Amino acid sequence: MTFDKESYAALCKLQTVCLRQNIPFASYRLPLNREIITVVQHHSMPGRLKSLNDLHEKTGFVVSPFTESPAHETFFLQPDCVFFSNNIAEIYIDKLAANDRFIEIEKNKNTTKTTTSEEFIGNVNKAVSAMKAAEFQKVVLSKLRVEQLPDDFQPEQFFLTLCRKYPHAFVYIMQLPEVGCWIGATPEPLLTIENGTVKTVSLAGTQVGTELETEDYHWSSKEIEEQGIVTNFIEQTLRSLHIADITKLGPENYRAANLIHLKTAFEFPQAHIQNRFSDLLKALHPTPSVGGLPKDEARNFILTNEQHDRGYYTGFFGPVNINEKSAVYVNLRCLQLFDNNFVLYSGAGITSSSVAEKEWEETDNKMLTLMNVMKNS
């Protein structure tokens, strides 16, 4: 990622002002792209989306939770301004600095606590027993970790460091008053549209990356089964919507930050969905890579047994019809910022052959994507 010193300073100042004034905004960098795009809504609050049905007609940034509830709704940031890396005007930043429209809105308070190994391992063992009893086929269980913010922590610098360190990820920082402030580097697109082509992926199975070439990693039967469940679900979902001309690539090894995953990619012409963008989103979310299968049974197990509320972790978010692209991603490898601390989230796919202690270790490794940067930034 390279851009001139003045653009770098202007971006940091814009983000700092938005964070300080509690102004709704999102900055993001697409995978293998140098451009950082920032959307700002400074005249009004982002609207609640009661339905995704007309999403394809909108332009902005969508944010949706793992599961809808009165506490966690889907919001749409409809930008008053869209900035690229090299066109952030100083006069506009000065006007934002005087905008106190959102300053009195109370920010989210952290009421969560770190998931213990006993809690997580207990949930995994309970899930394995349920799958052996044929209650469901797969479930993804998550945990969270609460950490104190370093005294000199700067969210803007952390975001830019993630951009530099993880070129293959969708890197973002976003703040919506009713969603909170989130930062992350997610490897998993839910649905992207560009140049008339729609793409989605099946991403599952995890190993810690070493010095090996990416293609030289080998997989256990558990990991192959786990990724196959997600792949089959996506194939069946696309067929159920009568989508044709599908190209399938994989599975293949895929490096995401410090981890290696199994990835299968799907793409097809946009003409096959026309105005059904929202139908496909609703049919895919949550995929078995973050929820489980069958969807309803796995989600009910998660909501009943996890000790925390996921909120917007494993939800979806991203730009819609900005710069002639839509890029909706799954909210993984992320943290939520609060005044004095932050909450890290991670999860692991559980099948009937899972070993609870290994799944705990996998979730620790996923947290390192952000923790390593936090410690060294």
Per-residue pLDDT reduced to its tens digit, 12-65: 999 999 999 999 999 999 999 999 999 999 999 999 998 888 787 899 999 999
Q: How confident is the model over 101-122, as a mean pLDDT?
A: 88
Strand partners, 262: 204, 253
Residue 259: the pLDDT is: 84
Residue with tokens 């995704």: 52
* Domain limits, the chain: 5-376
Assess whether pLDDT exceeds 70 at residue 89: yes
Edge-first strand listing for the sheet containing 197-208 = 47-48, 75-77, 60-64, 316-320, 325-330, 189-194, 197-208, 259-269, 247-256
SS3 for 341? strand
Sign, CA torsion 40/68/233/347 = positive
Burial code (b: 16+ CB inside 10 Å, e: under 16) for 30-50 equals: bbebeebbbbbbbeeebeebe
Amino acid at 100: D
Q: How confident is the model at residue 3 (pLDDT cuts 50, 70, 90)?
A: low
36-40/138-148 β-pairing: unpaired
Assess whether pLDDT exceeds 70 at residue 234: yes
Residue 191: the pLDDT is: 96
Q: How confident is the model over 304-315, as a mean pLDDT?
A: 96
**Nearest in space to 142 (alpha carbons), one of 315, 280, 266:** 315
Report CA-CA distances (Å) from 94 to 13, 14, 37, 156. Answer: 10, 9, 19, 18
pLDDT per residue as tens digits for the range 152-185? 899 999 999 999 999 999 999 999 988 999 999 9
Assess whether pLDDT exceeds 70 at residue 193: yes
Assess whether pLDDT exceeds 90 at residue 299: yes
100-114, 220-234, 304-318: segment of lowest average pLDDT: 100-114
Q: Got the DSSP string for 222-277?
A: HHHHHHHHHHHHHHHHHHHTT--S-EEEEEEEEEETTEEEEEEEEEEEGGGTTT-H
pLDDT per residue as tens digits for the range 328-342? 999 999 999 998 899
Q: How confident is the model over 185-196, as a mean pLDDT?
A: 95
Give me the numbers of helices (H) and strands (E) for the chain, helices first please.
8, 18
Residue 127: the pLDDT is: 98
Fold of 5-376: Anthranilate synthase (3.60.120)
What is the DSSP code (8-state) at residue 339? S
What helix, strand, coil percent values describe the chain, rounded to 5?
A: 30, 30, 35
pLDDT per residue as tens digits for the range 7-20? 888 999 999 999 99
Question: Residues 369, 209: contact at Cβ < 8 Å?
Answer: no
Residue 2: the pLDDT is: 52
Share of the chain above pLDDT 90, in %: 73
What element of type H or E holds 194? strand 189-194
Residue 377: the pLDDT is: 64
pLDDT per residue as tens digits for the range 127-140? 999 999 999 999 99
Mean of all residue pLDDT scores within the chain: 92
Query: What is the rounded CA–CA span in Å between residue 43 and residue 375?
Result: 37
Residue 305: the pLDDT is: 97
Residue with tokens 């899930």: 127
Output 111 or 308, whichever has higher pLDDT. Answer: 308
Whether a cis peptide bond, with omega within 30° of 0, leads into 31 is no
Assess whether pLDDT exceeds 70 at residue 118: yes
Assess whether pLDDT exceeds 60 at residue 197: yes
Q: How confident is the model at residue 215 (pLDDT cuts 50, 70, 90)?
A: confident
Report CA-CA distances (Å) from 170 to 29, 131, 143, 145, 191. Answer: 6, 33, 22, 22, 13
Assess whether pLDDT exceeds 80 at residue 108: no
At residue 226, φ and ψ (nearest 5 deg) are: -60, -45
Assess whether pLDDT exceeds 80 at residue 119: yes
Assess whether pLDDT exceeds 90 at residue 87: no
What element of type H or E holds 372? helix 356-376
